[in-house]
Structure 1
């Protein structure tokens, strides 16, 4: 009912399930009650009874060394990349209608429950047609979605995997008012989490936006990078334009290429200690599995505190 005087009558959808899902208040919209109950059972199967339970591990029937020949083509719609990595291609997505540029959900690797987070730049339909497109930037809603998911995983002692492709922040009037606090919450969530944290850089990783996405700087235990990724302070073309202001386009292009090679390549990031291993796209699954196995006994001693400050 229209209980507010002067309300926009043509809208009146703020209690609608689709509206609540898009705004992040609802995690999943089921077709019917049976569908919802099945989703609840599926979720409960992923999470442990409590944070003291020794992992939520089931028997794995998938090949641990399975090669992913199509992974290189899934780096835009990273939901498909996560599905490809997962045991038996099983992915339980959380909040699929909210902040679609940030994918969150649960998978299993070698039978162990893992919380997966990924930056997404495109959404493809079943026919392979792009139906949505996003920039490689962090948004307020995307940061809030990822931060809440990291805190949930940390509460239940569930390890976290991230697929990172980010170059900055969304720039508009609304975002300028909210993005700084949202990014701070995301950064704090990753830094505060004591669970095993692995990051796979699949595209761009620039500046403070990259730092907030589970980087080595805020406590990632292991960082992988694909060979052609770009990791650095800023885009090489922009850096060249700043350093060689007023020079010709030919000089800018030459200096940009030099900067990209010396400062923004995955090799240069590995030399500086920001990346632990450079891997081929088709081998991502087996690498993240051995990394999580290596971190299975991870323990972090933290000072006692009543609650977090963010």
Structure 2
């Protein structure tokens, strides 16, 4: 079906309308999205990006060149870091993305990148730093969660897959045409079908092998995970509620977080502090955003 789709375009649609080009933010010339037809997909690691990228390559008839789709798809279609404290502006195409429960995403990163891929045991991990910190390069889940900020320093790949979704989407979800939840990823296929003018189906690749749920973590590990992901729950306030797992513990702004894996969000830079999430006050007071996210699924 996908091969025929790549050969038979919708009526009146030129082949050149499907292309893997990078969209750009208004403040930067760095590529920030995958453009096709009149839409732009912004991938977030560990949030269904492998499946969506593979689907886009199927639609374009480029998937047969992939020997190992789980990994090769990312070599063809990259994922770019952006400034998490600035909104992305895309006037040329409808932007969409997929997001995931922050703590579940953190666990998925552990099982996929640490257990399955063994990245902490590879040459790219900083074994010397691990020794100085007294940390194992083959940590169990409990050890990893309790020391997650250190493992982000030890491995750039782990850091990339754990970084806040704001490092891939910018600071404002209101600018997106659609924001899908990973649990409803099949709706993305319907959305793409509408864009390309022909029915497609969502492939499911790169599924992490771990089955541990946040509720199965120890109280200490769960508290650490919730605190570490606190800004992500603020960012995704209309989509995910941390109370499903427990209460985010109190702390200080210096506590490590997914926002601090690349920089200190509380540090004074450029004559100002970085802006906190616009919806943080609403999150803390447990009030919904107004207006709500556009077409949140």
Query: What's the TM-score, normalizing by structure 2?
Result: 0.29
Which structure has the bigger radius of gyration? 1
Higher relative contact order (CA 8 A, sep 6+): 2
Q: Which has the higher strand share?
A: 1
